[in-house]
Each structure stands twice: as structure tokens, then as C-alpha cells.
Amino acid sequence: MAPRFFGTVLLAAVLLPADARAQAQPVRFAGVQAADSVQTLRDARSQQAAFERFRAGRLPRVRGLGGGSPSDCTRVGRFCFYFSDDGDVNPPPEPPIVSTRRAELVRALDAAAARSPGDAWITGQRVRYLAEHKEPARALAAAHACRAEAAWCAALAGFALHEDGRFDEAGAAFERALQLLPATERARWVDVDELLSARDQRTWRALSPADRAVAERRLWWLADPFWSEPGNDRRTEHYARWVMHALQDDARQVDRTRWLDDSREVVVRYGWPRSWAVYQPSYVGTNPGDAVVGYTGGRSWEWLPPLSVARDPRALKGDEWPTEESAVTITRYGPAYAARMAELPHQFARFRRGRETVLVAAFTLRDDSLAAASRLNAALVAMADADARPAMARAEFTRRGVLRVTLPTDSVVASLEVRADSSRIFGRRRVALGGDARAAVSDLLLLADPAARPVTLDEAAAGARSSAEARAGERLAVFWETYDVGAADSMTVRVRLVPDEPGWGRRQLEAVGLARAGRTAAMRWVEPVEPGPVVGRALGVSLPAGLRPGGYTLEVTVLLPGREPAVARRTLTVVR
């Protein structure tokens, strides 16, 4: 049997004999069957199979796979999923004649549904091909006309709504479907075991049912691409994939393969192909026959966090999600509204206000293809947990901006979300922030103007620097607040710039003199201070000219008579 190629690009693995793979557990939804509907169903199945045979015979041919080869893939049963490192690889366009034939199939399914509105298979295929034909309104109408099992009808509505980008409504429809599904089938749809790494699977299987429920809720909460938008499209995508599994399980495939457990696993983890082609390798020595490559879409990313973070969101550092498109991941999802992930240099800083805390986020969206005048929709969202009410601020900017939000509690997960909707370029930073309502000093906030000396948070936030990056020899301005300052004669301020601990390789280079060791720079002075509940202070800091590139921590220590030293910190990256 010929190899099959399947991917983002999805790529090639030799097909194993069909009996070497487990048969997918069938998904069957009953309908209201009349005696004369049997022939209608038989005719509809025949027309669907005829369309897929027609499509298979007219697939465009491709020679390249975006820089990869069949050996560079993640194996799932008979299939290989290839993670392209070139997100601009586009599948060849579908021949117009195939679109014409799909429209004919849709008309045939419309007629069949009119004769047998209670047939689950006919209704499902009708919704599927209408969505594939880019007619979401008609797909939703077909789902609403469904007269099969209520669970299947609700799932089809969720599928159509998700495909139309109406994620909040899709979530509600899928929740109805889950409530109506038989317990065994519902358990399969909601189980996240397959979406986890092998290590996380072992941990997951050892959890109690109660701990699993908490971890699952937080997993989907953290997997939501944008908290600032209604709905959770990563979760509705998961359920839409289960609907597609049910649709494909009992239908003709374009590549003529049997639908087995590995077919379902590929779809649930990576999505289903949106277009197809016949692969012809450009190198000598390979004869794949009628190998087929399926394209799941454009750029895609891993959105689910590690299970350890889902169990304890306070451990979220923000670097748990790989941003490289060629990174091998357990799952993938490419939202239709996201074409490219851009760098998002930023800084967060927290300031006490009585029992509350104000979070300031300054940022810039960095992408060479982003026009200077591009409008950015930015949001800063903070949540204490999956079911907590979010605190959110949003505004429009060009290139860079500053947002402020009052935090609901000391410990939150903050999500900075920036989108250029016209170009579908986005950036996101999501990180856990701990806090102490009794802290004697605020975080440090870097300022854009090195000569600025604000004394209030309003002034400082308005002039915040859009990143925590700087160059050796550069002069910076930094703002912080000291709280509950009494009638003291003076305040001692100590400033240090401490290099991060180098890695093993760096230490070896430093040991033999092939790299400069990082050095701590420090200064200290005494100055008068005015008492008050909130005392703002800004100062200039000149970075030493000889600093090596890398990570540093800027520390400001405030010493007041009769009080413990209070330290404010800011991580800083020195760039070339």
C-alpha cells in the first residue's frame, strides 16, 4: 500500500496493514427512520463517495513540502505529521471543477435532508460540506433543521458556529451536546489524555477524579488563545474535531484509507485537512505512488500548557508555549484570525493602592511586515483562576502602548494580548504574577525618556518604556513607589545591576578566557525623603559600556530608619 502524506503540512508515513491498527470506535447517532428513507440514505452515501472519488482523481500535484522530507515528522500510527518551518507554504488551489461538484453534492444532500430530515448521517454530511464550501450561514441553518438525536444536532450546531468564528455561541452549543451525549461518549470527548505529553499522561492517569476535573478546567482556561475575546476557540476546536471524527468515521475518504484509531488521533491532536494534493518528491530514489498530502491550514501553534501549570497556574512563567513554527508539539491549532505570531517586547509592573494593586503593562508589537500606521487592538486581562471574573483593560494603539488594570487579588495570571486585525498579526504574553499587599515598595517601571523624573504613577505610566531591553552604555530612567513612609530624616538608596547566572557552556568559555564574565555594578547614596502613604521616585541609571549581552536584574533597595530593607527588581535584557 502506498505511503500517505498528511499535514500542516502533514507528511508521510508508510501505511501499515489495516488490521495492524485498531478500528476506531464507531460514532453512531440515530435518527428518525422511515421505511422509504433507507433508499434516500443509500443514494446520499453513493453521491458522497462519488464526490470524493472525483476529488481524488483531480488533486493538484506538489513537489515541495516547505523544506522538509518524509523522515522529518511526528509519527501517529500510519501517518506522519510534518511541522513546516515555513509558514508561508501554501497548498495549491483547488481546481474549480471540484468546487462545482461539491456544490452539486450539497444540492443532493439538501434534497435528501428534505426527504429524511431525521437522518443523522445525511444531516451531518450536509453541514460538513456546506462548511467546507464556505457557506457557514447555510451550514448553521442545516444544523438547526436537524431532526436526529438532540445531542448530534447540538454538536452540529456547535461545529457550524465554530467554523463561522462564533466561538461563544459554539461553546454553548457544545455544552448542550455534552449534556445530552451518552456517558461513555461524553467521557471520550472531554478526555484530554491524548492531548498530553507521555510524561503528563502518566501524571494525569494517577490523579483522582476531583483533581482531574480541576486540572482539566484550568487546562482549557490557559489554552484559550485570547481571554479578551468571547468564547474559548481552542476548546470549541477540540469538540469540532470530535464532530469531524464522527463525520469521517462512516464516510468515504479522499485518500481512500480506512478510518481507524490513528485517523481519529491525528484529527483530535492536529485538526483535519482543509485541502489536499498528490505529493511527488523532488529528490531521486523515492517512488511514493499515489501518496497524498493533506494541509491542515496555515500557521498553527501549541496552545495547551504543560499539565504542571494547569495544576498550579502560579507556576506559569510565560515561556511554556513554543513559538517556533517548526517546533514538534503534541497538538496544534491555527485560528483563522491569526496569520503570524510576532515578538511582543513588554514590561509588567505592579503598584499598591490600599488593598488593591494596579498592574501596568507597556509593550510594542515587533514585526517587519507590520505597517507603521497599523492599528493594534490591545487588551490586558488578569484572572485569579479559571472560574474567576476577569479584570480587563483594552484600547487601540499604533505599534506600542500602555495599559493599566486593577487586579482582583494579589496572585493572578496576566495576559497581554495584542492583535493587528487587518494583517492578522498578533502577539501574546501570559504569565503568573504573585503579589504582597504589604510590600514596602512597588515593582520598577522603566521609562522611555532617560531624562524623565515623574513623581506620580499617572506620569510614569504615560511615559513607560515599551520593553525591558537596553544596550550597553545606554542611560535609563526608572520609576518606583515606596509605601507608608513615616517622618524619617533620610532614605538610603542602593542600586545594583546583577547578571543572570550563566549556563554551563558560558561558564566553560569564561573559565578559559573566551568570553567575558558578567559583573555586578552597584552604587549607593543617601537622600532626604518626604513622608506619605505613597512616595514616587525616579532616577537615571547609566549601564556600563562593557556589559556583555544577556539577562540582568536591576535592583533598587530602599532603607528607611527602623524598617527592613525593601527591594524592587526589574529583569533587563542587554542586547547588541
Backbone φ, ψ for residue 139 (5° rounding):
-65, -40
Q: Strand 400-407: give its sheet, edge to edge.
A: 340-341, 425-433, 412-420, 375-383, 391-398, 400-407, 356-364, 346-353
Q: Which of 235, 418, 224, 228 is nearest to 340 (CA)?
A: 418
CB-based contact 14:6 (threshold 8 Å): no
Distance between CA atoms of 501 and 396, rounded to whole angstroms?
Answer: 38
The pLDDT value given to residue 374:
84
- Predicted pLDDT of residue 65: 60
Amino acid 22: pLDDT: 57
Output the DSSP codes for 29-43. Answer: ------TTHHHHHHH
Instruction: Give the residue ranges of the chain where pLDDT is below 50.
Output: 1-20, 67, 284-288, 503-515
Region of 66 on the Ramachandran plot (φ > 0 left; ψ -120 to 50 alpha; else beta): left
The CATH number, out of the four listed (3.40.50.11540, 3.40.1390.10, 2.60.40.10, 1.20.1050.10), of the domain defined by the range 339-438: 2.60.40.10
* pLDDT for residue 27: 60
Question: Could you tell me which of 55, 33, 37 has the C-alpha nearest to residue 45?
Answer: 37
307 and 196 Cβ atoms separated by less than 8 Å: yes
- In terms of Cα–Cα distance, which of 357, 532, 349, 359 is closest to 437? 357
| DSSP bridge partners of 23 | 260
Of 498, 473, 495, 496, give the one whose Cα is nearest residue 552: 498
CATH superfamily of 440-576: Immunoglobulins (2.60.40.10)
Q: Is 470 helix (H, G, I), strand (E, B) or coil?
A: strand
Give residue-wise pLDDT tens across range 87-119.
556 778 999 999 999 999 999 999 999 999 999
Nearest Cα to Cα of residue 60 among 211, 275, 213, 255: 275
Q: Are strands 375-383 and 412-420 parallel, antiparallel or unpaired?
A: antiparallel
Q: How is the beta sheet containing 61-62 ordered, strand by strand?
A: 61-62, 275-279, 292-295
Give the span between the Cα atoms of 454 and 327, in whole angstroms. Answer: 44
What is the model's pLDDT at position 429? Answer: 96
Which residue type does 421 have? D
CA atoms in the 13 A half-sphere facing the CB of 502: 16
CB atoms within 10 A of CB 158: 28
Query: Phi then psi for 433, rounded to 5 degrees?
Result: -125, 115
The CATH 1.25.40 portion of the chain extends over: 24-45+94-272
The third-level CATH classification (topology) of the domain covering 24-45+94-272 is: 1.25.40
Burial tier of 123 (Cβ tally within 10 Å: 0-12, 13-18, 19+) = buried
324 neighbors 410 (Cβ within 8 angstroms): no
pLDDT of residue 23: 57
Which part of the chain is CATH 2.60.40.10?
A: 339-438, 440-576
Query: Could you tell me which of 158, 157, 117, 121 has the C-alpha nearest to residue 47?
Result: 121
C-alpha to C-alpha distance for 334 and 301, rounded to whole angstroms? 6
Please name which of 389, 382, 386, 361 lies closest in space to residue 309, comparing C-alpha atoms: 386
Strands (E), 500-531: 521-527
- Structure confidence at residue 331 (pLDDT): 94
